[in-house]
Amino acid sequence: MSQYVYHEPAAYGFKDRDGHDGKFFGTESPRTQHLIIECADKLTVQLTEKEAEFNYYVIEGNGYFIFNGDKQEVAKGDLIVVPPGTKYTFGGKLKMLLVNTPKWLAEQEVVEKL
């Protein structure tokens, strides 16, 4: 049976991974992944996703994203679209919904320590 409504997960799928936490919704979509991302300070890495587009929606808080060296401020209500191949990192006190298509796989991502 297909599920249409997903409530925010209580449990974290990962904690303090490179400066952020994540809760996976566990949706049944074969193509798209949905999760809550929380950041209390900043990422300790710069990311480059090779295949997936990452779409972040700021639910709470404010902070910044740095795309290919260009810093942009973000706040509640902002949508951040990160195309494949973009180097980026972020920081601030943020709670965001992340939707990525296709689903994230570790081998699709380049992670560089800051």
- Domains (range + CATH), the chain: 14-101 (2.60.120.10)
The verdict on pTM exceeding 0.85 is: yes
Strand runs (DSSP E) across the chain, as ranges? 14-17, 20-24, 33-39, 45-49, 53-67, 70-75, 79-82, 87-101, 109-113
pLDDT digits (tens, 9 = 90+) for 48-100: 999 999 999 999 999 999 999 999 999 999 999 999 999 999 999 999 999 99
